[in-house]
Structure 1
Amino acid sequence: MDSGELRRRHATAEAVPRQAAPADPAPIRARPAGTARLPGAGSVTAGHALLRHPGGAHHALLHQGDDTFALVDLDAAFAGRPAVLAGVANPWPGWRNSASAASADGGLVVLSGQRSVLALEPDGRTRWEYRHGCWGDGPHRHGGAEPCRGLAQGSVQVGADGGLVWAHVLPDIDHGDPDTDSYEQWLVLDAADGTVLGVARIEGGSQGSHHLPHPDDGSRMILGTGQGQDGSPAYVGHWDGSALTVQEIGDGFRIPVAVHPGGRAFLSTPHGFDPLVLHRFPDGRVLMERDAADLAGGEDDAEDDADGTEPAWDFVAGFVDGHTVIADAYDAHHHREASRHWLLDALTLRPLGPIAYPDGDRDPVRGGYAVALGDGTWLTLAADGTTLNRWSAHRR
C-alpha cells in the first residue's frame, strides 16, 4: 500500500475497536527465494549491518576479520553476480563494534568509532574525520588507534539522498565534568566535507544506538538508543536545511526497528512482555499494538507471566512489504531457543500465521532473527553461519 492508503486506513482503524486475533492461525509456508554465502553474514541478521536504500537496493557493511570492511550489494550476491562495492581497511584494528553506514551508490562509507566518525572513499582514502568524545569506560589515556576499554558506542547513517550524515556521538569533553557527562549529541554533517550543520543534545547514558532512515530526501531520521535495564530512549530528527529539530518519541522503553515503506509509520519492539507497536510518523502516536499472547488466540493470565511461560516479542521486527510485518516471538520459559517467526497484517498487527520453513539444512538457525527487506522477502541465517537464505511467503 502507498502512504496515502496507509493514512486513510489508519484514519478508519482509529474509529473502530481493535480487531481480535484469530484462534490458532494456520502456518504460512516459507518459499525459498535464493541463497548467498558471505563472510560475516551473521551480522546482517544479528545487528544493523543491513542497509536499506530508496528504490529497493539492499547493501550490507560486513566485517572481514578484524582488519577490513566490505560493502556488499546483497541483491547482486543473491543473483550470483560480483557483489563487493567497496573494501576499506578498519582504521581501528581490534574494534568490531562499529555501527556504520554507506551511501546508496556505494560512493561513501562512514564508520562510527570510539573517538571519531570517519568518512571514506570506496578505495579507502579518508574524505573527512569528525573527532568526538571517547565512548571508552571512565577517565583514561588514548594509545593511538588502539581500542579503549569498554563496549559502548554510537552510530551513524547516511541520509536517503546521500547529502547528509547523521551521527550519535559523545561531546568532546572530560568524563569527570558533571555538567557535561549527562548528555550526548546527535549531529547532522555535510557528507561532502564533514561540516557540522546541526547539533542537538539528547539524554546521556547510552551503551549503543542505531539509526533508521526515513525514505524521503534524507532530512528525517529515527535514532534508537540503548541504556540496558534503564531504558531505550528514541528520537525523531528533522533537518529543514537550516536547523535541526529533535523530539523524543515513546515512553523511554521502546526500540524503534523499522519504518514503513511509505514512510508514514514505524514499528517498535518492547522490553519484556510489552506489545509490539505500530506508531505514526513523525510524532510517535500509537496507531495499533499487539500482545504476544494473541499469537495463541487467547490471553494468558498473571500466573503465566509469573512462571515465565508467557510468549514475548523479541527485539527484531520489520516490514516484509507495505502490507505485511514479520516479527520474532519466543516462549520466555524456553527463552530464544524456542523462538518462531510470525507474519502479521501491517495495519492491524493481526497475526496471519507462524512461518513454516522447509525441512533440511536451509532452515534458519534455531532461535535466529528474521530480517525483512521490504520487497516481499526476508532473510535468515543458515546453520553454517555464513549463508543468508532469502524467503517469500507462499500464499494460497
Structure 2
Amino acid sequence: MPASQTFAPSLIGLPGRRALLQRCDSELVVQDVDGSFGTAGEATIRFRTPWPRRFGTSTVAPDGSLAVFAGVHALRAIDRTGTVRWEVRHGCWYGACREMHRSFEEYADDRDHRYPDGGSAGFSADGRLVWAHVRGPLPGGELDAETVDEWLVLDAVDGRLLARANARSAAAGSVHVPHPDPQRMGLTIGEGQDGSPLRWGRWDGETLTVEYFEDQDLVLLDVSPSGDRFLTVNHDQDTLAVHDIEDGSVLAEWDAESVIPRHPDAEPDNDEVWPLWDWAGGFIDEATVITGTVESDEEWGEGRHWLIGTSPTRSPEPVTYPLPVSGTPTGLGDGTWYTVAGSEVHVWALR
C-alpha cells in the first residue's frame, strides 16, 4: 500500500514483547517481533479499524489478542476475529462539540470534526489493564462536570472501569509510555504551544494515584529497562534529563546549547544557530540513551543523532550510520534502537 495511505510503522511494547504496528484507514497490521504472541502461531495479525486513521490512535495487547482504538468519541476494543469486545464512550475530542456521540457516522462528514484533538490508550506490561486518556467527563461519573480530560484504568477483558482521575490538561494529543511494573503507566500530553504535561499513574488494585509534575512541562520519552529511571525533554527542547522513578528527581541533565556543537553546514557568521533536542529518543540500555537534534538541524543540513552515557554521565557523541538515515531515533532498551525511513524500519546496534 502506498506510504501516503498509511501511518509510518512503529515498534511498541517492552523489551522481549515488541510488536511492529502500521495502520491504514481499513486495518491495523501487527507483526510479532519477539515471538511474544504465544501459541497462536500468527506472526502477522490484521485488525479491522472502526474509523479512518486520522480520527484517533491505536495500540495492541502484548500477546496480540486485542487492539484498542482511541477515537474521537469512544474507546473501542476489537479482537482478532473483528468482534467488538467492548466500547467506552466519552466526550467528543472536537473542542467546540458538547455531544456524546453514539457512533462515528454522526460526525464522519462534518467539516468541523475533520481535525479534532485526541487522546490515546496503552496496555499494562502484563496486558491485563488498559490505561486511556479521554475527553471528559464520562456520563454518570463522579468527577466534576467541568473536567476537560480524564485518565482511566480499564479491565482489558471487558472494558470495566476500575479507576479514573482528572488529567488536569486540555490536550491536543497524548502518548502512553508503559512501565515494566504492570501497576504503573506514564502519560505524556501535548497541549500545542501551551505546554506538555507529564503524568505518572499507579493502580494497586484499589486506588489510582497520579503524580502530576505540576508546571514542569516535560515530555516523557521512555522508561529504562529496569524501570528505575525515565527520560524527558522539556517543552522548550533545550534540556534533556534522566529522572529517578520514585520521586522524579533529576539524576542527570544535558543543555543542548552547551553540549551540542553547531551544525557543520551552518553559516559560520550566523549567531542564531543553536541546537534543540527532538521530542523523541529513548534508552538503548540501562546506561545509554539516544536522541536527536533533527528538527533544529534541518535548516542547515542532515539531522544528527546522539548517544549519551547516563551512568557514568558522558557528553553526547554523534552517531555515524553506514547508510543515509532520516527522522528521529527510538531506543528499544535491549541494546538496540530503530529509525523509520518511509515504510522501512531499520534496527541498529552498537558495534
**TM-score, with structure 2 as normaliser:** 0.84
Matched, 1:391 2:348: yes
Match among 13, 33, 40 for residue 52 of structure 1? 13
Single out whichever of 339-348 and 310-319 deviates more from structure 2: 339-348
1:184 to 143, 149, 157: 149
Structure 2 residue 83 is matched with structure 1 residue 119: no
Q: 1:245 to 1:273 in 2, by over 3 A?
A: closer
Q: 1:137–1:150: 8 Å Cα contact kept in structure 2?
A: no
- Amino acid paired to 2:163: G
Q: Is the 8 A contact 2:241 2:254 kept in 1?
A: yes
Equivalent residues of 1:74, 1:83 under 8 A apart: no
Q: Which residue of 22, 28, 43 maps to 1:69? A: 28
Deviation at 1:260, TM superposition (A): 0.5
Q: Report what 2:168 is aligned to.
A: 203
- Counterpart residue number, 2:265: none
Compute the displacement of 1:375 (Å).
1.2
The verdict on how the C-alpha distance between 1:353 and 1:328 changes in structure 2, with shifts beyond 3 A counting, is same
2:133 — aligned with what?
Answer: 168
> Is contact 2:8–2:340 with CA below 8 Å preserved after alignment?
no
Deviation at 1:136, TM superposition (A): 1.5
Determine helix, strand or coil for the equivalent of 1:374: coil
Q: Could you tell me which residue of structure 2 aligns to residue 220 of structure 1?
A: 184
| CA shift digits 1:36-69 (9 cap, x unpaired) | xx9988634xxxx43123x522113311x31111
What is the Cα deviation at residue 143 of structure 1?
8.5
Structure 1 CA distance for aligned equivalents of residues 258 and 234 of structure 2: 15
Kept after mapping to 2: 8 A contact 1:293/1:311 = yes
1:327-356 alpha-carbon deviations (Å, 9 max, x no partner): 102483744854200111033552352111
- Greater relative CO, 1 or 2 (CA 8 Å, sep 6+): 1
Q: For residue 273 of structure 1, report the CA deviation from its aligned partner.
A: 4.4
Mapped partners of 1:187, 1:169: distance in 2 = 8
Partners of 2:282 and 2:5 in 1: CA distance: 21
2:287 to 323, 328, 341: 323
SS of 2:54 mapped into structure 1: coil
For 1:351, what is the secondary structure of its paired residue?
A: coil
The answer for the alignment partner of 2:86 in structure 1 is 128
Identity, % of aligned positions: 37
The answer (yes or no) to whether the contact 1:290–1:350 under 8 Å persists in 2 is no
By how many angstroms is 1:211 displaced? 0.7
Secondary structure in 2 aligned to 1:96? Answer: helix
2:197 is aligned to 233
Which residue, out of 271, 289, 310, partners 2:253? Answer: 289
Report the secondary structure of 1:263's partner residue: coil
**Deviates further, 236-245 or 96-105:** 96-105
Q: Quick check: 1:154–1:167 contact (8 Å CA) kept in 2?
A: yes
Distance 1:292 1:106, change over 3 A: same
- Candidates 310, 335, 341, aligned match of 2:305: 341
Confirm or deny: 8 A CA contact 1:68 1:87 kept in the other structure.
Answer: yes
Q: How far is 1:251 from its partner? A: 3.6
Q: Give the aligned CA root-mean-square deviation in angstroms.
A: 2.9
- Residue in structure 2 matched with residue 87 of structure 1 by the alignment: 46
Matches within 5 A, 1:308-387: 308-330=272-294, 332=296, 334-335=298-299, 338-359=302-323, 363-365=324-326, 368-382=327-341, 385-387=342-344
Aligned length: 328
Say whether the 8 Å CA contact 1:234–1:255 is kept in structure 2: yes
In the TM superposition, residue 282 of structure 1 has moved relative to its aligned partner by 3.4
More deviation, 160-169/333-342: 333-342
Gaps (5+ residues) in structure 1? 1-37, 77-81, 299-303
Q: Counterpart of 1:332 in 2: which secondary structure?
A: helix
Unpaired stretches in structure 2, ≥5 consecutive residues: 36-40, 263-267
- CA shift, 1:267, in A, is 0.2
TM-score for both structures, normalised by structure 1: 0.75
Q: Find the residue that maps to 2:278 and give its secondary structure.
A: strand
CA distance in 1, matches of 2:49, 2:248: 36
Contact 1:326/1:344, CA 8 A, preserved across alignment: yes
- Give the residue type in structure 2 aligned to 1:267: L
Whether the 8 Å CA contact 1:269–1:317 is kept in 2: the answer is no
State the SS of the aligned residue for 2:289.
Answer: strand
- Deviation by residue 1:98-141 (Cα, 9 ceiling, x = unmatched): 33222211112111111111111122211111111110231266
